[in-house]
Amino acid sequence: MDTEIIYILTNEAMPGLVKVGKTDRNVEHRLRELYNTSIPVPFECFHASVVPKAKNVERRIHRAFDRFRVNQNREFFEIEPEAIAEILAMVELQDATPQDNIVEVSSDISALKRLEERAERFSFKMLDIEPGTVLTLSKDETIHCEVVDNHKVRYSDEVMSLSAAALAALKTIGYEWKAAQGAAHWMYQNRTLKDIRNDLETN
């Protein structure tokens, strides 16, 4: 069977955009290829799947989300990555999402964390989320945290930032990432906080 990997990538320097493509190598290799001097921070893999007839699957995904495509000559879409991942799951033979990211250099880690902190400067109050509200991890809906105040959550009996809670939770399911944007990984009423905030900002 002709199989390759379809990947969904995000980049903190490109908020709101996802890149969808395919590769016949491992995803880590592709991430390193894409990280060049024109990109301030590395791409992160939101999800990757081994699929049959990858070229056809990629073409159909691009066609299905064509109205969200930023440039017809590029693989970037202005859409939440979950929307594409749901479609990809229908044909997935194997999960190929890397359990570690490629953020290895300390300067890269610092730059990525700065962008994530900037992206996450919001309060729960602006989303009408009250203390005591339970949030769910998007990658594993059995994992939860609880909103403590306007900026902090309680995860595993510790009070911490949303990003710290996301990173800790992701590590429990095997993701050895160096950084994680909390709003992109925690959900309220089946939607990520990032998605809810984007809707509020555009309306």
The two structure tokens encoding residue 166: 């996301």
- Would you state the pLDDT for residue 31? 87
Distances (CA, A) of 9 to 52, 77, 85, 97, 166: 20, 10, 11, 10, 18
Per-residue pLDDT of 80-107, as tens digits, reads 787 888 888 899 999 998 876 555 545 5
Q: Which residue's entry shows tokens 């990173």? A: 167
- Would you state the pLDDT for residue 29? 85
State whether the Cα torsion 166-167-173-178 is positive or negative: positive
The β-bridge partners of 73 are none
Per-residue pLDDT of 58-72, as tens digits, reads 999 999 999 889 888
- Would you state the pLDDT for residue 4? 92
